[in-house]
């Protein structure tokens, strides 16, 4: 492991100031809008699928999913990727690095997990800082040096501190269900829950309405998710850079991770791709428009600007 051994940081204290109450309030408002929008979409799909009965069933699922996502979001995300607990004895230097960053952020140390994949990446999950977990891939620890790895871990702890992890899992769950319900609408046309062609709302107009929901619902769910997910990444980059005290380290890491994802795409549980620090899925320019992550060059540019005169490189030079 290239990051093995102890790492002493000279990071300045108080680097977490970027995640103050103003940021948290803005994040809370965005997540409320996201949940309301995704919930409304699911209710619409339920109504189109089965009329009043479908609306009731959809409402029930919304309550169950929100409850389950709140209490078990960390377990769900970790299980989907086959993550295993990383014991202290296996990587004491990594645990100590997280302990230092967590202390600087004023939060408990999250649990550490390892994903058995060579693709370099990482994500955080959990409903709050007291019930959080950070998962790193085997490839991440191999490809990054000590300062870059600390930058990535600081980014993930920033997500926890900024309360991003809960909404990310809830949004993924609701968006996935909306897409699945839209597919059911396509195959069953509203007959699954008793609505047939003889109903008052049946006929060509009803069929066209179903088709519209089928086309719009998954796209709208994705766009609502992207609206919050992209801004969350910028916020976590800024807070993480302040936590580790080295914006260039995180910028360098992002460039390496982007290249790693291009060479070794990781497509397990695509619905959770927005949880990772870089998009684990491969895609061209068109797919980039629907990426849950902002462009890496823009993220790197902002981090280089944060470094200011301390930065010894331009943001483009790290591509070489």
Q: Cite the active site residues.
A: 156
Give CA–CA dist 307/320, Å, rounded: 20
DSSP-assigned letters across all residues of 192-217: TTT--TTSTT-SHHHHHHHHHHHHHH
Helices (H), the chain: 21-80, 92-105, 138-143, 146-161, 164-188, 204-244, 247-263, 285-289, 296-307
Output the CA angle 79-84-85, nearest 5 degrees.
Answer: 120
Beta-carbon count within 10 A of 69 CB: 22
Buried b (16+ CB within 10 A) or exposed e, 84-111: eebeeeebeebbebbebbbebbebebbb
Q: What's the CA gap between 122 and 135, in Å, rounded?
A: 6
How many other CB atoms sit within 10 Å of the CB of residue 191? 14
């Amino acid at each position: 492991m290239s990051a093995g051994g102890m790492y002493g940081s000279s990071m300045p204290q108080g680097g977490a100031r970027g995640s103050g109450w103003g940021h948290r309030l803005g994040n809370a408002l965005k997540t409320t809008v996201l949940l309301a929008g995704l919930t409304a979409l699911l209710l619409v799909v339920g109504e189109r699928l089965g009329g009043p009965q479908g609306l009731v069933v959809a409402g029930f699922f919304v309550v169950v999913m929100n409850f389950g996502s709140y209490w078990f979001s960390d377990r769900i995300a970790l299980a989907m990727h086959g993550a295993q607990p990383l014991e202290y004895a296996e990587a004491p230097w990594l645990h100590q690095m997280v302990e230092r960053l967590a202390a600087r952020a004023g939060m408990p140390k999250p649990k550490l997990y390892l994903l058995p994949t060579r693709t370099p990446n990482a994500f955080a999950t959990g409903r709050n800082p007291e019930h959080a977990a950070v998962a790193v891939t085997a490839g991440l620890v191999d490809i990054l040096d000590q300062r870059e790895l600390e930058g990535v871990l600081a980014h993930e702890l920033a997500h926890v501190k900024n309360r991003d992890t809960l909404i990310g899992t809830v949004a993924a769950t609701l968006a996935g269900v909306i897409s699945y319900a839209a597919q059911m609408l396509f195959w069953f046309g509203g007959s699954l829950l008793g609505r047939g062609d003889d109903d008052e709302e049946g006929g060509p107009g009803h069929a066209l309405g179903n088709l519209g929901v089928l086309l719009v619902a998954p796209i709208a769910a994705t766009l609502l998710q992207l609206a919050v997910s992209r801004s969350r990444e910028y916020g976590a980059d800024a807070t993480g850079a302040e936590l580790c005290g080295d914006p260039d380290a995180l910028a360098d890491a992002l460039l390496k991770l982007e290249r790693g994802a291009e060479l070794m795409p990781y497509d397990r549980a695509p619905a959770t791709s927005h949880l990772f620090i870089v998009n684990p899925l491969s895609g061209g320019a068109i797919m980039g428009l629907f990426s849950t992550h902002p462009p890496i060059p823009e993220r790197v540019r902002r981090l280089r600007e944060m470094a200011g005169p301390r930065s010894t490189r331009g943001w483009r030079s790290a591509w070489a």
